[in-house]
Amino acid sequence: MAAANSSTAEPGRLHPWLRALLAGPCALGLTALIMAVMPFWVPKGIGGVDHIAFPLFFMPAIWAVIFFYALLDRRLGRIAIVMAVIAVIHLIALRAVLFG
Amino acid sequence: MINLKARETRTLVAVHGWAGAVLGLLLYAVIVTGTAAVFANEIKAWSGGLIGMNEPLSQPLNAVLARLEAETPEQFRGDLALRATPAGNVLAFFHTDETINGVRRERGILYTIGPDGRVISRAEGYGNELAANDPYTALGRFYVDLHVRLHVPNPWGLILTGILGLAMLVAAVSGILMHRHLFRDIFILRGRDRLVGLRDLHSVAGTWTLPHAFVLAFTGAYLSFTIAVALPMLAKIAFKGDVREMVTTLNGLRAVDARPAAIADLDDMLSDARKRAGAPLLIAGWENRGRADSRITIFPAPRSGDLTAMRLIYNGATGELIRERPIIGMKPSLGASLLGLISPVHFGNFAGWWSRAVWFALGAASAYVAWSGLNLWVRRRADQRGWRALGRVTAWVGGGLPFAMAAAAAAYFVSLPSLATVFWTPAAFLAAAALALVPALRMRSIERVPPLLFGATGVLLMALPLLRAAAGGPTWRAALATGQGAVPIMDFLVALGGIACVVSAAMALRPREQATFNAGSYVQSAE
């Protein structure tokens, strides 16, 4: 993905800060959101606890995937859209679970 | 060979460098203290001076506990926690739960029981405060607290170390991705007097320790964030704030039955648990003694060759085994197995002394990677005043932290006879850190500061076994007679570490042709 759009790279002094915003606080927030929704779609398993254990165990990996994606995709707009779509889907799911 | 485009490689190099530059010193502190904390239990056994016995929860306890219960106020008799200390004694805490400002706390009487039922100490108060004021484990706890939360109050300390874990993960992954010739370069060393030599050492040490660093970063971030943030968040969302449902899911349903009932024979239950577990018992928690819903949860050590152990739950009224259960949930599951892996893999305690020794060595190498990475960053910017200042701070922390940790240990032993270790251990650490600042600020050649401090660290380390003996610590013969091999082994390892520090310092400080900090030549040779 990163290599595919070298000709459309976006220069500018603001971009490093926007990327830092996406890879930093936004990645942390999205990780928390994904973790919060995971108990509602991860199967409980034979012990009835997998839906709690998996979000806890994979939390560093989820964050790392989002962080490196936000770091290495050349198009800031695409990063923002992908992260926003994932966030919106999870927010809707969370709202439905908590207040639905 | 990993082949990224030049732009992505530049980004990764920048992130790798800046993550290290911003958080490198704290990361170095966490890694160094974590390396020492690999031997936390051995340090507590070695430094405490209260020599006990092998498998203290296997001794008969009924008589002494009945006597102590009679001396304990009625209000604290409901719950009892038993813990085998690393030195081989038993901590018995008769307590009750109190809620203060919405937080549940345990208050009661803590007894330390030595071999043959001898009561060594008695203290009243809240459980966490009693543990924090124990003078015999102050040194081990000081190192562990420094590693776990850098002595920053909770939850911020855990969040800080969690962020450091993520930074270490970033450094490890970006280190792999940006390295063009990963497997070829791990054997290349081009001399230690030039910047390329330092980069080679950083690269080689970083590559060899990469799997270990990755695992530690992953599990460390998990351990910090789970306690501080993730579990409370999941409890609120997944169980909609219903604590009872969460406890039921994770630990099993508890039927409340407050009718009076007999108290089962503790020694029989501990003996049965020892046979079933096939390993020493570590902790036993007894709730609602004298009630029909009384339960005892026993935590054994893993069997030889196993990574985790099942917890055993007994009926506290009848003494019957109710069930065995994993770390979470009622039955073995993939989730419980994954969470059960975290502790042994992070602490390196899955194969006794051998695994801990390997974890210690890899931890020391990781500390060198963090420190050498910072040195590389600073030296390449040595013509800029701000980075030169960071260079002095790096030299101070790099050599000063081990020096201050050794000074804390020396002060611990000096103050042990007066039982003032809880104050003097951190006080000496801070004083030694301040003392280490003098050469870091005053010496012209900052390259000579760390070896100087390592030399001083070595002298202190070599003195520790003597200080331990002078403070009335057990002899090797007395320790070995009770199966406490930690005392002679730690004496030997500490002295050996001291000799290694002195020798390496002497080698680094001997005159060379060009040992001064010369930014221009370093930058040129690096390029």
**Crossing angle (nearest 10°) for helices B40-48 and B486-509:** 110
Question: Can you tell me the mean pLDDT for B199-203?
Answer: 80
Closest-CA residue to B499 (of B463, B445, B448) = B463
Please choose, from the candidates B299, B404, B459, B363, the residue with its C-alpha nearest in 3D space to the C-alpha of residue B40: B363
Distance CA B140, CA B143 (A): 5
Q: Give the tokens for residue B231.
A: 């579990």
Quote the pLDDT of residue A54: 94
Q: What is the pLDDT of residue A3?
A: 41
Give the pLDDT confidence score for residue B295 in this predicted structure. 92
Q: Identify the three-state secondary structure at position A85.
A: helix
- Tell me whether residue B16 is in a domain: yes
Q: Is the CB of B498 inside 8 Å of chain A's CB atoms?
A: no
Residue A76 lies in a domain: yes
Helical residues (DSSP H) of B348-384, grouped into ranges = 352-379
Is A57 a domain residue? yes
For B109, phi then psi, to 5°, come to: -110, 130
Share above pLDDT 70 across residues of chain B, in percent, rounded to a whole number: 93
Minimum-distance CB partner of A36 among B237, B328, B335: B237
End-to-end CA distance of chain B: 22
Residue B381, in any domain of the structure:
yes
Q: For residue B239, what is the enclosing H or E element?
A: none
Kindly provide the ipTM of the predicted complex, given to two decimals: 0.84
Average pLDDT over residues B219-223: 94
DSSP 3-state assignment of B515? coil
Whether residue B517 is contained in a domain is answered as: yes
Report residue B256 as tokens: 């409340």
Query: C-alpha distances in angstroms, B293 versus B51, B73, B315?
Result: 36, 22, 8
To test the contact with chain B by mutation, choose from A17, A59, A99 the residue with the greatest count of B C-beta atoms within 10 A, namely A59
Residue B105 lies in a domain: no
Q: How many whole angstroms separate alpha carbon B360 and alpha carbon B490?
A: 13
For residue B46, the enclosing domain spans 6-50+149-221+347-526
Answer for the pair B304, B272: CB distance below 8 angstroms, yes or no: no
- Residue B175, pLDDT > 60, answer yes
Pick from B15, B222, B240: which is nearest to A71 by CB? B15
Of B12, B234, B332, the CB nearest to A52: B234
DSSP code per residue over B32-89: HHHHHHTTHHHHHHHHH-----SSGGGS--HHHHHHHHHHS-GGG-SEEEEEE-TTS-
Query: In which domain, by residue range, is A36 found?
Result: 24-99
Q: Give me the long-range contacts of B238-245 (CB less than 8 A, separation at least 24).
A: B238/A36, B238/A39, B238/A40, B238/A51, B238/A52, B240/A98
Q: Are B316 and B295 in contact (CB under 8 A)?
A: yes
Which of A21-25, B48-52, B251-255 shows the lowest per-residue confidence on average (mean pLDDT)? Answer: B251-255
What is the separation of C-alpha B472 from the centre of its chain, rounded to a whole number of angstroms? 26
Residues β-bridged to residue B312: B298, B324
Q: Determine, yes or no, domain membership for B519.
A: yes
- Residue A68 belongs to some domain of the structure: yes
3-state secondary structure of B378: helix
pLDDT of residue B253 exceeding 80:
no
* 8 Å CB contact between B398 and B390: no
Are the beta carbons of A31 and A88 closer than 8 angstroms? Answer: no
User: Does B442 contact A at CB distance below 8 Å?
Assistant: no
> How many CB atoms neighbour CB B361 within 10 A?
14
- Whole-number Å distance between alpha carbons of B364 and B404: 16
3-class secondary structure for B323-351? Answer: EEECCCCCCCCHHHHHHHHHHHHHHCCCC
Total count of residues recorded for chain B? 527
Number of domains into which chain A is organized = 1
Asked if the Cβ–Cβ distance from A57 to B237 is below 8 Å, we say no
pLDDT of B526 reads 34
Task: Tell whether the model's pLDDT for residue B198 goes beyond 80.
Answer: no
Would you call A69 an interface residue with chain B, using a CB distance cutoff of 8 Å?
no
Average pLDDT over residues B4-27: 85
Please report whether residue A89 resides in a domain. yes
Query: What single-letter DSSP state applies at residue B152?
Result: P
Q: Give residues with Cβ within 8 angstroms of B296, minimum separation 6.
A: B264, B266, B269, B284, B285, B286, B287, B313, B314, B315, B316
> Has residue A73 been placed in a domain?
yes
Contact between B479 and B491 (Cβ < 8 Å): no
The reply to whether A46 falls in a domain is: yes
Cβ distance B169 to A60 less than 8 Å, yes or no, reads yes
B105 close to B99: Cβ distance less than 8 angstroms: yes
Going from the C-alpha of B122 to that of each of B71, B125, B148, B439, B474, the distances in angstroms are 11, 10, 28, 45, 22
- B260: amino acid identity, one letter: P
Q: What is the pLDDT along chain A (100 residues), one digit of tens a residue?
A: 344 444 444 456 678 889 999 999 999 999 999 999 999 999 999 988 999 999 999 999 999 999 999 999 989 999 999 999 999 999 999 999 888 7
Cα–Cα distance for residue pair B96/B453, rounded to 1 Å: 48
- What pLDDT score was predicted for residue B512? 63
Query: Which pLDDT belongs to residue B185?
Result: 67
Q: B165: which chain A residues are within 8 Å (Cβ-Cβ)?
A: 60
- Report the alpha-carbon distance of residue B203 to residue B193 in Å, rounded: 15
Residue A3 lies in a domain: no
- Residue A23 CA to residue A3 CA, distance in Å, equals 18
| Lowest model confidence (mean pLDDT) among A29-38, B75-84, B234-243, B296-305 | B234-243
Confirm or reject contact between A80 and chain B (CB < 8 A): no
Residue A5 lies in a domain: no
Interface mutation target, options B218, B224, B311, B337, chain A, most CBs of A under 10 Å: B218
B232 interaction partners in chain A (CB closer than 8 Å): none
User: For B281-337, how does the pLDDT look when each residue is reduced to its tens digit (9 = 90+)?
Assistant: 999 999 999 999 999 999 999 998 888 899 999 999 999 999 999 988 888 999 999
For residue B204, tell me if it sits in a domain. yes
Residues from chain B that touch A50, judged by Cβ atoms under 8 A, are: 333-335
Angle at Cα B392 formed by Cα B389 and Cα B395, nearest 5°?
Answer: 150
Cβ-count burial B10-35 (b if 16+ within 10 Å, e if not): ebbeebbbebbbebbbbbbbbbbbbb
One-letter amino acid for residue B241 of the chain: G
Taking the CB of residue A46, how many other CB atoms lie within 10 A of it?
15
Query: Percent of chain B having pLDDT more than 90?
Result: 61
**Structure token pair of residue B141:** 């706890």
Residue B144: helix, strand or coil by DSSP?
helix
Examine residue B155 and say whether the peptide bond preceding it is cis (omega within 30 degrees of 0).
yes
pLDDT band at residue B17, thresholds of 50, 70 and 90? confident
- Count of domains forming chain B: 1
Assess if residue B21 is contained within a domain: yes
> CB pairs below 8 Å between A and B: how many?
114
pLDDT tens across B372-392, in order?
A: 889 888 888 888 888 888 889
- Looking at the domain assignment, is residue B395 inside a domain? yes
Q: Binning pLDDT at 50, 70 and 90, where does residue B489 land?
A: very high
Q: How confident is the model at residue B190 (pLDDT cuts 50, 70, 90)?
A: low
- Are the beta carbons of A71 and B221 separated by less than 8 Å? no
The encoded tokens of residue B435 equal 């003392």
pLDDT number for residue B188: 67
